[in-house]
Amino acid sequence: MAMSFFDQFASPSYLGIPLIAIAIALPWVLYPTPSSRWINNRLITIQGWLINRFTNQLMLPLNVGGHKWALLLASLMLFLITINMLGLLPYTFTPTTQLSLNMGFAVPLWLATVIIGMRNQPTVALGHLLPEGTPIPLIPVLIIIETISLFIRPLALGVRLTANLTAGHLLIQLIATAVFVLLPMMPTVAILTATVLFLLTLLEVAVAMIQAYVFVLLLSLYLQENV
């Protein structure tokens, strides 16, 4: 029983063919394609308004050079939110519970921000490794610490997203199992447990959106340091 709780995180396959590609491609099918017409339907209008508000909020602290990332960050935000939300449906698979996928997003984007900083302003980018006014004996130690913290950033991005979603899904499955076990023996306790399960599901909906926002927000902060 203990091992079966983790079966939901195994990548599904059919006839030996991994289906994770379908799970990744599904979010783009759900969104309507924007039209070039002046008047659109309500769904496209709301979608465009939300994307514009999010992009304006995200690009606010960045200078003009960082605005080139607006399309990439907005698309990544929509992609992560949609995948996280679809993973809360029954009998579905959440690709963002896989650390390999999250690291595949985090490492290239983090590395791109570092390369941009080294190319555009190498002095400022290297200056982050050594705070101003550091005593001379502490300079080697601080450089090593700041370098380690720099390389930990993509790992923190991927692990944060994976751990939060994995913990939430495990907790939901544990409480749901408890409800089915308690229902024949103690119906009152089972109903109370089901209420807790419902509230936890609402919390996980919020976590799914917040974690996607935090992932993109931290990337924008890393970009802000290097543009």
SS3 per residue for 43-95: HHHHHHHHHHHHHHHHHCCCCHHHHHHHHHHHHHHHHHHHHHHHCCCCCCCCH
Neighbour count for residue 27 (Cβ, 10 Å): 18
Of residues 30 and 203, which shows the higher confidence score?
Answer: 203
Q: Which pTM was predicted?
A: 0.83
Query: Model confidence over 137-180: pLDDT tens digits?
Result: 888 888 888 889 889 999 999 999 999 999 888 899 889 888 98
The answer to whether 87 and 8 are in contact (CB under 8 A) is: no
Query: Model confidence over 96-139: pLDDT tens digits?
Result: 888 888 999 999 999 999 998 888 888 887 877 877 777 888 88
**Chain mean position to CA 22:** 19
The answer to whether 179 and 190 are in contact (CB under 8 A) is: yes
Task: Provide the token pair at 218.
Answer: 């931290």
Structure confidence at residue 4 (pLDDT): 64
